[in-house]
Amino acid sequence: MNFKLVDFTLKSLKRNMTKKLSVIFIFTVLVFLLVSVFSISSSIKKELLISVDSLPELIVQKMSGGRQTLIPVERAFEIASIPGVNNAYDRVWGYYFFENVNVNFTILGLDFDLETYKKKYDNIIEMNSDIIDTSNTPFMIAGKGVVEIFNSYYNPNYFDFIKGNGKRMRTNIAGSFSDESALETNDVILMPIQNVRELFDIEEHLATDIVVRVPNPEEIDVVKQKIQFMYPDCRLVSRQDIEASYQNVFDYKSGLFLSLLIAAFVAFFILIYDKTSGLSLEDKREIGILKAVGWQVENILQIKFIEGAIISLFSFSFGTGLALFYVYTLQAPLLRNLFTGASYLKPEFDLLPIVDLQVLSLIFILTVPIYIMATIIPSWRAAIIDADEVMH
Amino acid sequence: MIKLESIYKNYNIGEHNESEVLKNISFLVKENDFTILRGPSGSGKSTILSIIGGLIKPTKGEVFVDGKSIAKLPDKFASLVRQEKIGFIFQKFNLIHELNTIDNITIPLLPGKLSRLEIEKRAEEILDDLSILNKKNVLVKKLSGGEQQRVAIARALINRPKIILADEPTANLDKKLSLSFIQIIKELKQKGITILLASHDPLFSELKCVDNFIDIQHGEIK
């Protein structure tokens, strides 16, 4: 490495700083947008995949006339006896519409002593200290989003649900989920199972669906076939189905960014086109001078390479740093709303810091070498013609 | 030192506007000679200098610089010849205006192996010889015409060339500065440098130190 040429290039950049600033600005904005979008996307994807990981391997739903209906609880015992099934239990849940905010919350009935759930939720529930007695009155544990809406539009300590028979059911808000599980629990209300049955008017021998736990992933398909054979009126939803469904929604939202990114790329390629289509007279004159005083074409290409590398690496690093700060420190204001949806109930969760090296490498390859080439090619064209012509 | 044999130069070859700017040019410049190429504007003087300097190639003919044929030399080697043997002084100086004096002067040596310190030391010696050492950190665009020309001369001398090619060096100078330039050229000749200068300035015709005059008209030697 000839540091005298590096020094010369730095001086050249310094004297052309105003010309280069627009390039650095566009380059930085492009990298910022790309890294921001991909970082938000990676974080949310990770969060969703964590959520999916906690889902049961199979969910059994009874179908009637093409729509889901209540399923007999006894089927859970029969399913549990299938080899390979570790556990099968019924779930009682439903959607409840809150008129004031025009939103549905998911109300899930839970046997709070049930080992699986206890293990999962014990460490992520913050209890409401105002509610002490939960033995006689119905109670609920709500997601952060639900609690916020109760605090803003209803009573922060209880809510009067209207049951299936038209009567009120006062339910204390006993606690809320912690921030860590925000994405998956934000619009969820947990209640003891008997309260949910009462609310949705579900009889004791019926349930909304049946959850099936199959520890060995190799056996899931076989178990699924067996259940389908036993109960042809049932639909079986696997974790993979839910994951695909999440992915579809997510990909759809990612698609919204395409227009933004395409616009950024168009700006970048206009810049590249402008650079490759020719040098200014001043640039050509300078190349002519360098050749006339004895520089070889390769020396000129070296300084142009250094120039392109300095501008593109600086813009790439600055844009990346800015994007990571914007996403993980500022939590991506504006952009994250596009990803998480414009629902009234916006999940409040922290974007997990994930640096996807593959994505960063891809952005690097799509921008830095292209820019360097765009800097070198026109200079090479000018340098290979006679210096005499260049100088005229 | 410099030998041209039947040099022809045509532009836009094969096109409707093809033009022959040099016809059968042959001459010899001996070592340490001071030679003036004389002739009106557009007669082909600058083209001859460009061919000798390897900036352009002749359409036909041979050029020898310090015994080496350069007419068909690939660009890379032509650059090396320029770097090692030739110093150019241009009519419009061709300096990089946003750089200071010393940065302009040191440009020819940057791709080479000399250290930054050695280069700067050499540059300061030349600036001192040309009495512009005090301007070494001044941007060249802030220098007067005469000072800019001294910077251009210093840049031509930094690689300690055997040959100086000067193209209309006094065209942008008044008489006083032109005389000052002639004095510098005389000193260079005394140091053993071969000088080939293209000019139609009558000042040079009166010089006693000139060894040869070559008159060019319409691309031919008269």
Give the residue ranges of DSSP H helices in chain B. Answer: 45-52, 75-85, 101-106, 116-129, 145-157, 175-190, 202-205
Classify residue B45 by its DSSP letter: H
The predicted-structure confidence for B16-75, as pLDDT tens digits, reads as follows: 888 889 999 999 999 999 999 999 988 999 999 999 998 889 999 999 999 889 888 888
pLDDT at A390 over 70: no
Query: Which chain B residues are closer than 8 Å to A7 by Cβ?
Result: 116
**Which of B59, B107, B157 is the best substitution to test chain A (most A C-beta atoms within 10 A)?**
B107
Q: Is the pLDDT of residue A349 over 70?
A: no
For A43-61, write each residue's pLDDT tens digit: 877 777 776 777 788 999 9
At residue A180 the predicted structure's pLDDT band, cuts being 50, 70 and 90, is low
Alpha-helical runs (H) found in A155-232: 182-185, 193-200, 220-230
Min Cα distance A20 → chain B (Å) is 15
* Predicted confidence band of residue A191 (pLDDT cuts 50, 70, 90): confident
How far apart CA A69 and CA A60 sit, in angstroms, is: 11
Q: Report the run of H or E that residue A271 belongs to, with start and end.
A: helix A239-276
Residue type, A217: P
Q: What is the pLDDT of residues A153-176, one digit of tens each?
A: 888 888 889 988 888 998 888 777
Give the confidence band of A342 by pLDDT, cuts at 50, 70, 90: very low
What are the residues whose beta carbons fall under 8 Å from the beta carbon of B79, sequence distance 6 or more?
A291, A294, A295, A296, A297, B54
Residue among A285, A288, A295 whose CB faces B79 most closely: A295
Bin A192: left if φ > 0, else alpha if -120 < ψ < 50, else beta. Answer: beta
Contacts of B94 in chain A (CB under 8 A): 285, 288-289, 292, 391
Give residue for tokens 């399923």: A71
- DSSP one-letter code for B111: T
Other beta carbons less than 10 A from residue A263's beta carbon: 12
pLDDT number for residue A17: 85
CA-only gyration radius of chain A, Å: 31
Residue-level pLDDT at A126: 62
Strand order in the sheet with B220-221: B86-89, B163-167, B194-198, B34-38, B212-217, B220-221
* Domain chopping of chain A, boundaries: 3-50+245-391, 58-213
Q: Which of A294, A302, A386 sits opposite B108 (nearest CB)?
A: A294
Euclidean distance between CA atoms B211 and B222, whole angstroms: 17
On the question of pLDDT at A11 being above 70, the answer is: yes
The reported pTM is 0.70
A108-122, A160-174, A337-351, B49-63: lowest mean pLDDT where? A337-351
Q: pLDDT over 90 for what percent of chain A?
A: 29
Exposure string for B89-104, b = 16+ CB within 10 A, e = fewer: bbbebbbbebbbbbbb
With an 8 Å Cβ cutoff, are A295 and B88 in contact?
no
Average pLDDT of each block of 10 consecutive residues along chain B (222 residues)? 93 86 94 93 91 91 92 86 89 88 95 92 92 93 91 92 92 85 91 93 87 93 88
Cα–chain-centroid distance for residue A342? 14
Distance from CA of B206 to the nearest CA of A (A): 30
Rounded Cα–Cα distance for residues B154 and B127 (Å): 7
Strand order in the sheet with B60-65: B19-29, B2-11, B60-65, B68-69
Residue A130: pLDDT above 70?
Answer: no
Find out whether A192 and A109 touch, Cβ atoms under 8 Å.
Answer: yes
Mean pLDDT of A109-125: 59
A118 has a pLDDT exceeding 70: no
Half-sphere exposure of B27 (CA within 13 A, CB side): 21
Name the pLDDT band for A247 (thresholds 50, 70, 90). confident
With beta carbons under 8 A apart, name residues in chain B contacting A4.
Answer: 110-111, 116, 119
What domains can be seen in chain B, in order of their start residue? 2-221 (3.40.50.300)
Euclidean distance between CA atoms A286 and A284, whole angstroms: 5
- Of the pLDDT bands very low, low, confident and very high (cuts 50, 70, 90), residue A111 is confident
**CB of A27 within 8 A of CB of A323?**
no
- Residue A298: closest CA among chain B residues belongs to which residue? B76
At A392 the pLDDT is: 56
Chain A residues within an 8 Å CB radius of B76: 296-298
